[in-house]
Amino acid sequence: MTSNILMVDDDPATIKVMGRILCDIGHLRVATCGEDALRLAREAAPDLILLDAEMPGMSGFEVCETLKADPVLADVPVIFVTGHSEVALEVIGLDMGAADFIAKPLSAPLVQARVKTQLRLKRLTDELRRVCAMDPVTGVANLRHFNESLAREWLRARRAGEPLCLLLIDVDHFRLFNHRYGHAASDACLRSVAHALQVACLRPSDLVARHSGGTFAVLLPQTARGGAEQIARRILDAAEALDIPHESSSTARHVTMRIGIACYDEASASWLEGSSDSGLPRARCAAANLAKAAERALNTVGPARARLLDIADVDTPGMARDVARFAPPVASSLANLQGFSRELETSCDPLELLVSAEALSAALTEDRARA
């Protein structure tokens, strides 16, 4: 996988030199001022930043401080590039979280060695973080990773003026299931549910996480309430399709799920485009309130059903409304999904499977767009 390197320097000559040194190591992007560096980093987080310490306007140290304060970019390693060799400057940079310092004039072997070292450490750290963020039973994200992702996606949504929705999914009567069938069967049930949730979402940006016990969370960036309702319907239908026996359930003779949906979009009373401020209380626009709204919607819904609560109504859970079960787009998508599953079982042609998968993805995307 090609590494993404962001070079930041107000001197075009230095940029050219670094470009020649690093052209074979990764994909290079360039910024000549601190403001542009932050913009590019936020558009697509780099794997490494080479940052001039002294620039007119926003200095490299100010850029680094801003990066480390951003949850999305805090873990991106920063190498300061400077024409000074004072120990005090290095101490300041390292205290801010910089990974290394490179002195000008640039030595090609030294720059390449230090850049490769930081990229290697970044890959190892990312892999360790991925393993630590995984729930050992289901293989989906764990609660800690979910909380970090929720905070990160909330900041992104607020900055970009984009919607964000959250689903909390509870396996109905899961304690009774565990008591009747045992831990091994319960773990298998949870794995099946987790897989069904992942299939229902499909988009790479959607996050499925195990929240606690028999409860899961699905985080849906750039998704308004209509799209979240479609996903909820898909999940309820997926529970029916799993057909996992549950003789101790008072709802059905198979495993069912209930869903609480929280939404923040243009229909929300607390909607604020970008980073603007409409004077609404900050408490109405917090990631924690999105989670709280989903939980309160979940607490008001009956088995095998879904309810939606706007983030602005977090303190009035009675405002939660039912989500209708069977919408035509969902039935269409499920038919597509079932058809693709049959093709997956019978087809040996990779190209045929790829075409089918692309068609399925397009159909599900269209469903969400119509919502």
Residue 110 pLDDT greater than 60, yes or no: yes
Shared domain for 240 and 359, answered yes or no, is no
Q: 258 — phi, psi (to 5°)?
A: -120, 150
Residue 168: how many other CB atoms lie within 10 Å: 24
Question: Does pLDDT of 56 surpass 70?
Answer: yes
The pLDDT of residue 292 is above 50: yes
Q: Looking at the structure, tell me whether residues 338 and 289 fall in a common domain.
A: no
Residue 342 and residue 308 in one domain: no
pTM of the model: 0.65
How many folded domains does the chain comprise? Answer: 3
The pLDDT of residue 361 is: 54
CA 281 to chain centre: 26
Element (H, E) at 196: helix 183-201
* 138, part of any domain: no
Whether 319 and 352 map to the same domain: the answer is: no
Name the DSSP class of 254.
B
Burial class (CB in 10 A: 0-12, 13-18, 19+), 32: middle
Q: Supply the range of the domain harboring residue 246.
A: 143-326
In a domain, 190, yes or no: yes
CA distance 171 to 229: 18
Same-domain pairing of 13 and 91: yes
Task: Provide the terminal-to-terminal Cα distance of the chain, rounded to the nearest Å.
Answer: 35
My answer on whether 169 and 247 are in the same domain is yes
Does the structure show a pLDDT above 90 at 166? yes
Query: Are residue 271 and residue 175 in the same domain, yes or no?
Result: yes
- Specify the pLDDT at position 207: 96
Tens digits of residue pLDDT in 184-234: 999 999 999 999 999 998 788 999 999 999 999 999 999 999 999 999 999
366 and 310 both lie in a single domain: no
pLDDT band at 365 (very low <50, low <70, confident <90, very high): low
- 237-249 tens-digit pLDDT: 998 999 999 999 9
Q: How far apart are CA 212 and CA 214, in angstroms?
A: 6
pLDDT in tens, 124-154: 999 888 888 899 999 999 999 999 999 989 9
Q: Tell me the residue type at 79.
A: I
More confident residue, 250 or 347: 250
